């Protein structure tokens, strides 16, 4: 039977990751040296679930990612694929933001995102915090640099002369709250459903009941869920875990 490889870079990473964790000999990670993780050896797909769980402290996630990056440098390509696969929720969230306002195939942007992520594995300072978030940031920077180069080559950058001056919106995407939320998903501070809940109700002004219906939960549960997620988000911002971003203050009554 012929196996058809996915056409998109991120889907290809998912397929490669799936192959790494297939029985009878899935690639695994020994969690026993890491307090706060199950005291056993876990296949990487199970480790992925543990890393994004609310019950896993952020310092533990960072400790695991330090070990993962060390293995990419020491043990080769299988662990590079493993790192990208474990970071896929954050990479996909970032890819969605980078595609906003852009027409056509996103394959080149996604490829640049992955290249930047993989290149940063070789140089990231492992004494820092928020390891996986910084890896994804590096991918995003590569996409933005490539976009700027392409726009310049296509003549899309125009010089406009005006008599006088006015204020312009921020040019850096990390000033936008959507980017803060994306970084929070990448760092496993919030999950994608919590990101949707906050983004839709706080930023897009969608009625809370509408979003609760979409998520299949009650309005009361949505309120409690959003409150808990926002508390974690606020703590992460205050702790410097989501540098480059400022959370847009939520308007009262939403």
pLDDT in tens, 92-142: 888 888 877 666 567 888 899 999 999 999 999 999 888 998 899 889 888
Asked if the model's pLDDT at residue 72 lies above 90, the reply is yes
Dist. CA 252–CA 254, nearest whole Å? 6
List b or e across 174-210, with b for residues whose CB sees 16 or more CB atoms inside 10 angstroms: bebbbbbbbbbbbbbbbbbbbbbbbbbbbbeebebee
Q: Which residue has the higher pLDDT, 191 or 124?
A: 124
To the nearest 10°, report the CA torsion of 142, 111, 203, 56.
-90
**Phi, psi at 74, each rounded to 5°:** -95, -40
Predicted confidence (pLDDT) at residue 49 exceeds the cutoff of 80:
yes
Residue whose C-alpha is closest to residue 132's, from 36, 46, 177, 68: 68
* 253 pLDDT more than 50: no
Contacts with 27 (C-beta within 8 Å, 6 or more apart), sequence order: 20, 21, 43, 44, 78, 79, 82
Strand partners, 43: 28
Q: CA angle at residue 143 from 138 to 146, to 5 degrees?
A: 125
Encode 82-112: b = buried (16+ Cβ within 10 Å), e = exposed: bbbbbbbbbbbbbbebbeeeeeeebeebbbb
Q: What are phi and psi of 28, to 5 degrees?
A: -135, 165
Which token pair is 56? 């896993």
What is the per-residue pLDDT for 168? 38
**In this predicted model, what pLDDT tens digit does every residue of 193-246 receive, in sequence order?**
788 888 888 877 788 888 888 777 888 888 888 888 888 888 888 877 766 433
For the chain, the structural domain boundaries read: 9-148, 175-238
The pLDDT tens digits of the residues spanning 140-177 come to: 888 888 877 665 555 544 444 444 433 433 334 334 56
> Can you give the pTM of this predicted structure?
0.61
- The predicted model gives 65-77 an average pLDDT of 94
CA dihedral 39, 43, 44, 45 (to 10 degrees): -110
CATH 1.20.120 fits 175-238, yes or no: no
pLDDT of residue 102: 67
- Residue 38: band (very low, low, confident or very high) from pLDDT cuts 50, 70, 90: very high
Higher-pLDDT residue of 73 and 175 is: 73
CA distance to 16, 42, 45, 47, 73, per residue, from 51 (Å): 19, 12, 10, 6, 21
């Amino acid at each position: 039977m012929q196996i058809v490889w996915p056409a998109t870079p991120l889907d290809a990473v998912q397929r490669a990751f799936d192959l790494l964790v297939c029985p009878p000999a899935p690639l695994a990670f020994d969690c026993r040296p890491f307090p706060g993780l199950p005291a056993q050896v876990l296949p990487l797909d199970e480790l992925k679930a543990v890393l994004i769980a609310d019950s896993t402290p952020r310092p533990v996630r960072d400790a695991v990612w330090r070990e993962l990056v060390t293995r990419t440098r020491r043990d080769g390509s299988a662990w590079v694929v493993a790192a990208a696969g474990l970071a896929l929720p954050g990479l996909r969230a970032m890819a969605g933001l980078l595609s906003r306002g852009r027409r056509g195939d996103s394959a080149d942007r996604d490829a640049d995102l992955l290249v930047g992520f993989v290149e940063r594995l070789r140089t990231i300072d492992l004494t820092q915090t928020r390891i996986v978030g910084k890896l994804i940031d590096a991918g995003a920077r590569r996409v933005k640099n490539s976009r700027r180069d392409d726009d310049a080559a296509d003549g899309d950058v125009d010089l406009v002369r005006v008599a006088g001056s006015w204020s312009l919106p921020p040019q850096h995407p990390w000033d936008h709250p959507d980017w803060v939320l994306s970084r929070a998903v990448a760092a496993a501070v919030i999950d994608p459903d919590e990101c949707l809940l906050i983004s839709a109700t706080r930023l897009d002004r969608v009625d809370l009941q509408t979003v609760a219906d979409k998520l299949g939960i009650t309005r009361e549960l949505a309120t409690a869920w959003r409150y808990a997620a926002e508390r974690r988000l606020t703590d992460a911002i205050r702790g410097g875990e989501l540098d480059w971003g400022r959370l847009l203050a939520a308007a009262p009554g939403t």
